[in-house]
């Protein structure tokens, strides 16, 4: 095993420009010296060749034992906001080391993510590397490993190696100002009166629920009773006590347009952030994953992508639309419009809203208890309003 280590190190060795010139001059000198019988030129050529060999041996044999600790703040970041990285380098390495941090092209570095480390020794303080970058797109952004390049004293050969692992920064989707409350406005066909359900705020919501023993008869909602086929009563409940359920359809067949899917992700994240700002409970379902915390929901949306084989919305709804959820909001693309028309009825008192995100309207007959809203992905997310 020990014999294999120099060979493994040899694969990482590269000649510098100077080393290449030395090696080329050595070969030319050897040929000319033998051709014309010039001993002095032969000695010079052998010296140049020996210098290159010595440089290669120096960068292979000299030990480089480094360890790094990387600290990233914040670990969960917003797009285009600065992220600070501090790398602490410890260990042993003779001579100066050139370093470069491995970063994706999706980030903009402010400062320098490359430089030179002086000789690292255990008797010296740890060396610190500081730089900043701004991510330009959502996702899990890899940071590292640190690429170290060491050159021999004559600058003829260099060796490169990776030090440390890879850390990740979670970059959230863009948050836009969206209209709140989560409201579904229904017009009474008889009186023309407009009622807002599912509002989030300080006002009270008027909802219909099943009759319970002791409820006064004056609170009976006869229109809801006729529609449901059972005795229903009107109740006023504080809007902030009921949760809002968000279901983002992540099936690949629902999103033929990647731009529309990104629009839907940002829209969903904006709704989560707005609800959390109002201290309103929110649940998010993305495929088979369901979260009941706003921060966890935003982190999930940071990395969500369309998936083949993801469950249909109607299969996820029973887990999402529980008794404490007042409004269920399904966000889907043009490919999911057909399934939106087959959504099942929600529990008593819950209201449903389907947003179809596309550049062209999709013809959908709203299922019972649901309202369908067309959302144009060509418009800015903040310009969209609830119907």
Strand partners, 211: none
- The pLDDT of residue 211 is 66
Q: Give the number of other Cβ atoms within 10 Å of residue 363's Cβ.
A: 10
Which of 169-178, 179-188, 237-246, 267-276 is predicted with the least confidence, judged by mean pLDDT?
Answer: 179-188
Mean pLDDT of the chain: 82
Is the pLDDT confidence value at 240 over 60?
Answer: no
What per-residue confidence (pLDDT) applies to 214?
A: 67
Q: What is the pLDDT of residues 353-370, one digit of tens each?
A: 999 999 988 888 888 888
- Give dist(CA 63, CA 315) in Å, integer: 59
Lowest-confidence segment of 197-211, 255-269, 360-374 by average pLDDT: 197-211
Whole-prediction pTM value? 0.74
Instruction: Tell how far CA 152 is from the center of its chain.
Output: 41
Q: Which has more pLDDT, 62 or 357?
A: 357
Provide the pLDDT for residue 277.
81
Residue 235, pLDDT score:
66
**% pLDDT > 90, the chain:** 36
pLDDT of 229: 64
CA diameter of the chain? 121
pLDDT band at 131 (very low <50, low <70, confident <90, very high): very high
Confidence of residue 36 (pLDDT cuts 50, 70, 90): confident
Judge whether 65-171 and 239-383 match in fold.
no
Domain coordinates of the chain in residue numbers?
A: 4-61, 65-171, 239-383
pLDDT digits (tens, 9 = 90+) for 260-313: 999 999 999 999 998 888 778 899 999 888 888 999 999 999 999 999 999 999
pLDDT recorded at residue 207: 58
Stated as kind and residue range, the H or E segment containing 333 is none
Q: Residues 78-115: pLDDT tens digits?
A: 999 999 999 999 888 877 788 899 999 989 998 888 88
Strand, helix or coil at 67? strand
Mean pLDDT of the region 122-148: 91
d(CA 268, CA 290): 14
Asked if the model's pLDDT at residue 381 lies above 50, the reply is yes
The confidence band for 233, taking pLDDT boundaries of 50, 70 and 90, is: confident
For domain 239-383, the CATH architecture is 3-Layer(aba) Sandwich (3.40)
Top-tier CATH class for 65-171: mainly beta
> Is the predicted pLDDT of residue 119 greater than 80, yes or no?
no
Q: How far apart are CA 321 and CA 347, in angstroms?
A: 7
Query: What is the per-residue pLDDT for 222?
Result: 65
Tokens of residue 86, six digits: 């501090």
Kindly indicate the confidence band of residue 200, based on its pLDDT and cuts at 50, 70 and 90. Answer: very low
């Amino acid at each position: 095993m020990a014999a294999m280590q120099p060979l493994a190190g040899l694969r990482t060795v590269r000649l510098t420009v100077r080393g290449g010139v030395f090696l080329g001059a050595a070969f030319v000198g050897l040929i000319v010296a033998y051709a014309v019988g010039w001993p002095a030129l032969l000695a010079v050529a052998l010296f140049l060749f020996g210098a290159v060999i010595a440089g290669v041996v120096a960068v292979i044999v000299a030990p480089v034992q480094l360890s790094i600790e990387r600290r990233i703040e914040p670990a969960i970041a917003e797009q285009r906001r600065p992220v600070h990285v501090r790398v602490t380098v410890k260990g042993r390495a003779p001579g100066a080391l050139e370093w470069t941090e491995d970063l994706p092209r999706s980030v903009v570095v402010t400062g320098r993510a490359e430089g030179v480390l002086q000789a690292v020794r255990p008797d010296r303080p740890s060396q610190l590397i500081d730089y900043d970058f701004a991510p330009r797109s959502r996702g899990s952004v890899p940071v590292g490993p640190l690429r170290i390049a060491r050159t021999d004293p004559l600058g003829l050969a260099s060796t490169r190696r990776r030090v440390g692992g890879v850390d990740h920064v979670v970059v959230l989707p863009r948050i836009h100002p969206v209209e709140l409350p989560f409201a579904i406005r229904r017009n009474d066909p008889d009186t023309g009166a407009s009622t807002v359900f599912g509002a989030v705020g300080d006002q009270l919501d008027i909802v219909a629920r099943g009759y319970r023993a002791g409820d006064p008869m004056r609170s009976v909602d006869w229109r809801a009773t006729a529609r449901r086929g059972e005795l229903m009563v009107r109740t006023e409940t504080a809007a902030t006590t009921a949760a809002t359920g968000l279901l983002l359809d992540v099936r690949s067949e629902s999103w033929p347009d990647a731009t529309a899917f990104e629009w839907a992700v940002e829209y969903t994240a904006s709704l989560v952030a707005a609800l959390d700002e109002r201290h309103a409970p929110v649940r998010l379902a993305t495929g088979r994953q369901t979260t009941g915390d706003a921060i966890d929901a935003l982190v999930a949306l940071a990395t969500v992508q369309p998936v083949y084989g993801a469950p249909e919305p109607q299969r996820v709804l029973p887990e999402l639309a529980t008794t404490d959820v007042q409004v269920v909001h399904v966000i889907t693309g043009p490919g999911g419009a057909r399934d939106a028309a087959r959504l099942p009825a929600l529990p008593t008192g819950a209201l449903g809203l389907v947003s179809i995100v596309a550049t062209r309207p999709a013809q959908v007959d709203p299922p019972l208890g649901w309202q369908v809203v067309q959302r144009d992905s060509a418009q800015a997310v903040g310009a969209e309003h609830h119907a």
